[in-house]
Structure 1
Amino acid sequence: MRADLEWFRTFKAIFDTGTMSDAAKELNISQPGVSLHLSSLENYIGHPLFERNTRKMIPNERARMLYRQICYSLTKLEEVENSVRKRSGKERMTLCLGVYSGLFSQLIAPHIADLDFNLIVQFGDNDKLSELLESGSVDIIITSTETPIHNISYQVLGTSEFIVAAGKETDISQFQQLDIENKGQVRKWLQSQLWYSNEKNIWARFWKLNFKKESDFAPNYVMPDKNTILRCLEKGVGLALMPHSVCRDSIERGDIICLWKGYVEMKNTLYIGHRKNSILSDEIQQIKEIMTTEFEKCHNESCQPLR
């Protein structure tokens, strides 16, 4: 892994100002961006550089040594940049976003080239994304859980409908012949199939909601994200519990099958969470508008299951 020049610039700003918030103001980036740069540099070096207390960032001996080594070079570089900036106009802000990988590909990736600010993206599940927002490592997240955190605001993004999706090569003839009202038969057939999953909580919730009991079997293939599951289903055999929006295009192409919605349709409410009173309020509003518009496009239709 190569070091990023911005890590050292951020380190110098923290050293000079004594706090993460003052460093963010000096660099004209968000505090989560400062925190991310510092943690990346410390991971790269292999040692912490500051002692953190409630009021100040206190540099240790390694930090003081590093500062002496880089200070002159960075100062000269900043002089050159200031000269160039006067001729080139407005500086771009940097927004840190935490999101599920599938939603990023669906909602945000198509608009990256149109953004007038820099974007740092981190993927994760609900727990990780909430931790990143609470710690200040990101400015905004998409999550299915409203976690009460001081200075964090949540708005509903929308509702996602889940279906049982089948790979196009899956033999579903027996399922089509079942008495769908016979829950025992349906449960037995589902248990006999190969399953893909990436979220234990969603899996358990679906099973409990439809069969009033805990699942007594585990998925055969545990994947890192839903897009990977989708690619697997398109190429082979198996079932997966998927948001309809993620697999809508594949269903329309005939690459996978919308098999079943369950006895009780399962829906997931997604929220946008972001820091209040951020210096990036304009950038946060812009990315919120993009996500909301794209989400409505992707979730305005439902599929007709085979059963």
Structure 2
Amino acid sequence: MIDFEWYRSFVSIYRHNSVSEAAKSRFMTQPAMSQHLASLEAEVGEKLFVRMARKMIPTERGKLLYSEAAPLVEALEKVSADLKTASLPGMKWIKIGSAPDFYQEKILPLLPRFGTCSISHFGTAEELVESLEAEKVDLIITSKKFMKPGIEYEELGEEEFVIIAPAHWDVPETRSLAEQDRWLAGQKWIAYGPELPIIRRVWREHFKKRPKLHVPYIVPNLHMILALVGAGAGLSVVPAYLLQPANAGDVRMVYSHLSVRNALFFAYKSKHKYYPEIQHVMKIIRENL
């Protein structure tokens, strides 16, 4: 008789492409995870993965079984979670974390629609994941994925980053990348951090090289960067959602084709995945991104 836990382990291995990572995500030992897979393969009568040095590659039979088993495993896990949460008092508070600027623009206006009380947490991607591990937050929005045991990610969408300049600056109108590079590199820049996050991506993706810029200001706050650019201090790269009429009166986007995009993800503890409040909050945020 096939054990349901074998299927759960199989689905986890398929998603992580690794027995060791799957074992961590399910808080199991690697030998126990391997035994689940071996037992399922013996029952099926075929190999479900080709074992490579550092990766598990699903066979055609493995791919077919995953397409059939994954929705059933998720449905049963949801039933199990619903039974547990039905006997618990309702979640009166939800703890949400993200970068402060994203929160101010995208999450804060939605708080009255969540239907629950909330506690806000801010930090870098690394800090937010650490808070999630420690259960100081229930749900985070992050642009980086860190594979941690018991933490799952869901795609939320993308954010576009664009170059901005003071509105009164005279920017050369040219389609030549070389001329754009030359002009941009000759200006003063304002960066979010000393490693020039996002700015380096602009140069790497569009100019195929590392930027050599004069960066007299490091300001780890996007709204302050917007104000500083508006005051004529230099150029910067910020999320396009900041350029709302209420924010962007003194700045303008330049060379819009030089934009870059970041993926955004929800992250939460696997054991909290089906909490109604978390699912409801994610739905509202996703619909209004």
CA distance in 2: counterparts of 1:135 and 1:203, whole angstroms: 32
Give the AA of the match of 2:251.
Answer: I
Corresponding position of 2:119: 120
Alignment of 1:284-303 (within 5 A): 284-295=278-289
**Alpha-carbon contact 2:164-2:237 (below 8 Å) kept:** yes
Looking at structure 2, the residues matched to 259 and 279 of structure 1 have their Cα atoms a distance apart, in angstroms, of: 41
2:192 is aligned, of 183, 198, 215, to 198
Unaligned runs of 5+ in 1: 1-89, 296-307
CA distance in 2, matches of 1:250, 1:138: 31
Structure 1 residue 157: Cα displacement:
0.9
CA distance in 2, matches of 1:233, 1:159: 24
Match of 2:208 among 188, 209, 212: 212
Instruction: Map 1:16-165 to 2 at 5 A.
Output: 93-165=92-164
**Offset, 1:180:** 2.8
Match of 1:281 in 2: 275
Structure 1 position 117, deviation (Å): 2.5
Q: Report the AA paired with residue 282 of structure 1.
A: P
- 1:186 partner amino acid: Q
Instruction: Write the letter of the residue equivalent to 2:117.
Output: N
Normalising by the residue count of structure 1, what TM-score does the alignment of the two structures yield?
0.58
- The match for 1:269 among 263, 268, 272 is 263
Deviation at 1:288, TM superposition (A): 0.9
Deviations 1:10-44 (A, max 9, x none): xxxxxxxxxxxxxxxxxxxxxxxxxxxxxxxxxxx
Structure 1's 170 and 238: CA in aligned 2 closer, same or farther, altered over 3 A?
A: farther
C-alpha separation in 2, matches of 1:129 and 1:270? 14
1:246 and 1:230 map into 2 onto residues whose CA distance is 8
TM-score, normalization by structure 2: 0.61
Tell me which residue corresponds to 2:220.
224
AA of the residue aligned to 1:223: V
Determine the structure 1 residue equivalent to 2:254.
Answer: 259
1:240 is matched with which residue: 236, 239, 250? Answer: 236
- Aligned equivalents of 2:177, 2:274: Cα separation in 1: 54
Partners of 1:107 and 1:146 in 2: CA distance: 20
CA 1:234/1:149 → structure 2, altered by over 3 Å: closer, same or farther? same
Q: Which amino acid aligns with 1:191?
A: A
8 Å CA contact retained: 2:187, 2:214: no
Bigger CA drift: 271-280 or 147-156?
271-280
After TM superposition, the runs of 4+ consecutive aligned structure 1 residues lying more than 6 A away are: none
Q: Deviations over 1:64-84 (max 9, x none)?
A: xxxxxxxxxxxxxxxxxxxxx
> What's the RMSD between the two structures over aligned residues?
2.5
Which one-letter code corresponds to 1:150 in the other structure? P
Which amino acid counterpart does residue 148 of structure 2 have in structure 1? Answer: I
* Cα displacement (A) at 1:132: 1.9
Pairwise CA distance, 1:269: 0.8
Deviations along 1:165-205, one digit per CA (max 9) or x if unpaired, are 11213332xx22xx43251x322211222222215331222
Aligned equivalents of 1:232 and 1:280: distance in 2? 43
Matched pairs, number? 199
Q: CA deviation at 1:232?
A: 2.5
Question: Could you report, residue by residue, the CA deviation over 1:201-239 in whole angstroms, capped at 9, with x for unpaired residues?
Answer: 312221111221112235322112212212223343421
